[in-house]
A and B are shown apart, each in its own frame.
Chain A
Amino acid sequence: MSEWIQRLIQSKRAYRSKLATLPFEEKIILLGQLRQRSLLIQAAKHQRRTDES
Chain B
Amino acid sequence: MKPGTAARQSVRLSLGLSNSSDDIDPNLCELGKLVVSLAGRSIMKDTFAVLNQMHADGVIGRYAIGGAVGATFYLEPVATLDVDVFVVLSQASNSPLITLEPLYHYLLPRGYMIEGEYIIIGDWPVQFLPPSGPLEEEAIEQSAEQHVDGIPVWVMTAEHLVCIALRLGRAKDFARILQFIEAGVLDTAKLEPIMIRHGLLDKWENFEKRFLNPDNL
Chain A residues engaging chain B, CB cutoff 8 angstroms: 13, 16-17, 19-20, 24-25, 27-32, 34-40, 42-44, 46-47, 50
Q: A24-B146, A28-B44 are in contact. Are A43 and B77 (CB under 8 A)?
A: no
17 A-B pairs (CB sep. < 8 Å): A20-B185, A25-B45, A27-B72, A27-B73, A31-B42, A31-B44, A31-B77, A31-B78, A32-B38, A35-B38, A38-B79, A40-B31, A43-B11, A43-B14, A46-B28, A47-B15, A47-B25
For residue B1, CB closer than 8 A to chain A, the reply is: no
CB of B148 within 8 A of CB of A25, answer yes
Q: How distant is the Cα of A4 from the Cα of B42 in the complex, in angstroms?
A: 37
**In the complex, are the beta carbons of B77 and A19 less than 8 A apart?**
yes
Contact at B182–A13, with CB atoms within 8 Å? yes
Name the interface residues of B23-54: CB closer than 8 Å to any CB of A: 25, 27-28, 31, 34-35, 38-39, 41-42, 44-45
If A31-B44, A36-B35 touch, whether A20 touches B74 (CB-CB below 8 Å) is: yes
- Cβ of B69 within 8 Å of any chain A Cβ, yes or no, is yes
Q: Is B149's beta carbon under 8 Å from chain A?
A: yes
B17: nearest residue on chain A (CB-CB)? A47
In angstroms, how far is the closest chain B Cβ from the Cβ of A39? 6
How many A-B residue contacts, CB cutoff 8 Å? 83
* Contact residues on B (Cβ < 8 Å of other chain), bracket: 20 to 34
Residues of B within 8 A of A42 (CB): 31
B31 partner, pick from A20, A28, A43, beta carbons under 8 A = A43
Contacts of B14 in A (CB 8 A): 40, 43
Which chain B residue lies CB-closest to A31? B77
Q: Is the CB of B76 within 8 A of A20?
A: yes
Contact A25/B149 with A36-B35, A40-B14 known, Cβ cut-off 8 Å? yes
